[in-house]
Amino acid sequence: MTGSGWHRPRAAETWRNPLRDPRDKRLPHIAGPCGVTIFGVTGDLSRKKLMPAIYDLANRGLLPPGFAVTGFARRDWSDQDFAEVVLQSVRDYARTPFRQDVWDRLAEGVRFVSGSFDDDAAFDRLTDTIAALDRMHGTSGNHAFYLAIPPEAFPVVCKQLARTGLAEHGDAHWRRVVIEKPFGHDLHSARELNEVVNEVFPEDSVFRIDHYLGKETVQNILALRFANQLFDPIWNSHYVDHVQITMAEDIGLGGRAGYYEGIGAVRDVIQNHLLQLLALTGMEEPVSFSPDALRGEKVKVLSATKLVGPLDETTARGQYSAGWQGSQQVAGLHQEQGFDPESRTETFAAITLQVDTRRWGGVPFFLRTGKRLGRRVTEIAVVFKRAPHLPFDDTMTEELGENALVIRVQPDEGVTMRFGSKVPGTAMEVRDVTMDFSYGTSFTETSPDAYERLLLDVLLGEPSLFPVNEEVELSWQILDPVLEHWAATGTPEPYPAGTWGPPAADAMIGRTGRSWRRP
Ligand code: BG6
């Protein structure tokens, strides 16, 4: 290459402004003109997550000028009243600082339609509102309908969206539906629900939210596994002894009886969040990160995943009783308002799974989750086998545990590697040490909230982080036997709030000669 070659100005036609190059995947993509209609707009999800996420996206410059948000609920609110509600939730829960100019611009596109789901006239008004937004506010016919409502209400809302033509795609505009879990309460009801939704919206217009997939640390599982050479050679049954996936919460269920009673920990979080974590940990490398390739690999690993039996020994369930959360005395589930004192709903669940593939044959996956546990932590621990031979006296390795790689999903996001190291001194003594990667110290960038990421992806039509129908159905297929077994026998075992679950959970893993990590 001659020196002059370096300095020759690039021809105009080959020069691309990197800020405008849609092929540059590092740049944040900005949603095109569109609107979001939220059903269930008076609920907690909307107030604490969706509205703040919309504002944060606007604040980061990721929403277009032609953007609108319409609330639909029974309240007798005007657009102005609804805007006040949105403003309050932004002030209470947004993650980015409040900027009056951003809010003023957003507020111009805020609308409210009052009515119930079976009220044809209300849906006709919604149709007129959306048409007016397209004409006057530049939303260009592109609309997402967010069903932040119980699944029993999906059929009637979907029918209304079909009747009014609001669900109809056009050549020049899109319509999408966003649905929140629970996607049914077993395989049969999930299939029915999917049929109802798919009758109105084609599968590629359906976005099922599993907010764990919107978390940075969860997406990082893919980077950790597939961007590095270090881990893949040992990511299999030759080296891995078992995998523990823990999602522990310190909060109780006060105020959530309406949703949680009769649902329980398996349906609430194992069916979705924890099985998605298992799928990302256990899947093979996708040929690309295209939505089909990524989701196809998750489907494969889920279809190879099965409960290990006998279920009395390989599963455990519990229900929190009164206890101490730090220095605070807290009530048990039976004293929480809205829960039946006879309630059999489990607030803790642990199960044992196997993944019948060449990579994972013989490696148990232990999943556990619970409310009112010792502390809030979600992690995936890949625990390795002992070295086949230790050239040390037993006394030298008394404090050596198993090597482990722990993906810390939250809080304190990062990755820990645990291995043995020589204790300084004249004797050879080996003790476990950890090596840490922590988001807080390695990056200056902050992570967006999961809902921010997922909402933006809905508006961009980017479906990779949304489970497909098949994943949902496979997850129920895996779990239905344990739900049936528990419904037919026994009751959850009590555990005092602030502890790590019922003794049955320790016994469950103990039978295999292993023990739970104390995160
Ligand atoms: C939700 C469950 O999906 O996830 C809740 O319904 C749970 O019961 C919540 O508390 C936990 O989410 P996060 O992001 O705080 O781990």
pLDDT interval class at 255 (50, 70, 90): confident
- pLDDT, tens digit, 9 for 90 and up, residues 74-91: 999 999 999 999 999 999
Which top CATH class is 213-510? Answer: alpha beta
- Which of 269, 320, 347, 369 to mutate for ligand 1's pocket (most ligand atoms within 8 Å of CB)? 269
Helices (H) and strands (E) in the chain, counts: 18, 18
Q: Whose CA is nearest to atom 7 of ligand 1?
A: 269
**Do the beta carbons of residue 197 and residue 154 sit within 8 Å?**
yes
The alpha carbon of 385 and the centre of ligand 1 are apart by a number of angstroms equal to 32
Q: Check residue 18 and give its pLDDT.
A: 39
Which residue would you say has higher pLDDT here, 196 or 23?
196
Q: Which residues are catalytic?
A: 273
Query: CA angle at residue 234 from 230 to 237, to 5 degrees?
Result: 160
What's the chain's average pLDDT?
93
Cα(303)–Cα(474) distance, rounded to whole angstroms?
6
- The one-character DSSP state at 373 is B
Cα(100)–Cα(92) distance, rounded to whole angstroms?
15
**Do the beta carbons of residue 40 and residue 148 sit within 8 Å?**
yes
Helix then strand then coil, % of the chain, to nearest 5: 40, 20, 40
Section 480-501 average pLDDT: 96
pLDDT of 16 over the 60 cut: no
pLDDT interval class at 340 (50, 70, 90): confident
Q: Whose CA is nearest to atom 3 of ligand 1?
A: 269
**Tokens 């309460």 belong to residue:** 185
- pLDDT, tens digit, 9 for 90 and up, residues 398-414: 999 999 999 999 999 99
The alpha carbon of 480 and the centre of ligand 1 are apart by a number of angstroms equal to 21
pLDDT interval class at 19 (50, 70, 90): very low
**Do the beta carbons of residue 109 and residue 150 sit within 8 Å?**
no
Closest Cα to residue 282, out of 311, 305, 308?
305
**Do the beta carbons of residue 246 and residue 350 sit within 8 Å?**
no
**Do the beta carbons of residue 318 and residue 501 sit within 8 Å?**
yes
Regarding beta strands 323-325 and 328-330, do their DSSP bridges make them parallel or antiparallel, or are they unpaired? antiparallel
- Which of 45, 211, 251, 272 to mutate for ligand 1's pocket (most ligand atoms within 8 Å of CB)? 211
In the chain, where the domains are located: 35-180, 213-510
* Nearest atom, ligand 1, residue 268 CA: 6
Task: Work out the angle between the directed axes of helices 79-93 and 100-107 (0-180°, nearest 10).
Answer: 150
Cα(286)–Cα(222) distance, rounded to whole angstroms?
10
Ligand 1 interacting residues, C-beta cut-off 6 A: 249, 268-269, 378
- 3-class DSSP string for 210-273: CHHHHCHHHHHHHHHHHCCCCCHHHCCCCCEEEEEEEEECCCCCCCCHHHHCCCHHHHHHHHHH
Cα(117)–Cα(418) distance, rounded to whole angstroms?
54
* Nearest atom, ligand 1, residue 259 CA: 6
Hey, how many other C-beta atoms are within 10 angstroms of the C-beta on 309? 13
- H or E element, residue 452: helix 450-460
Section 121-137 average pLDDT: 97
pLDDT interval class at 387 (50, 70, 90): very high
Fold of 35-180: Rossmann fold (3.40.50)
Task: Work out the angle between the directed axes of helices 100-107 and 51-59 (0-180°, nearest 10).
Answer: 120
pTM: 0.93
Q: Whose CA is nearest to atom 4 of ligand 1?
A: 269
pLDDT of 519 over the 90 cut: no
The alpha carbon of 151 and the centre of ligand 1 are apart by a number of angstroms equal to 18
- Which of 273, 275, 333, 408 to mutate for ligand 1's pocket (most ligand atoms within 8 Å of CB)? 273
The alpha carbon of 76 and the centre of ligand 1 are apart by a number of angstroms equal to 30
- Tokens, residue 442: 């390695």
Query: CA angle at residue 451 from 264 to 100, to 5 degrees?
Result: 135
Cα(55)–Cα(91) distance, rounded to whole angstroms?
10
pLDDT of 343 over the 70 cut: yes
Q: Check residue 448 and give its pLDDT.
A: 87
DSSP per-residue letters across 91-138: HHH-SSPP-HHHHHHHHTTEEEEE--TT-HHHHHHHHHHHHHHHHHT-
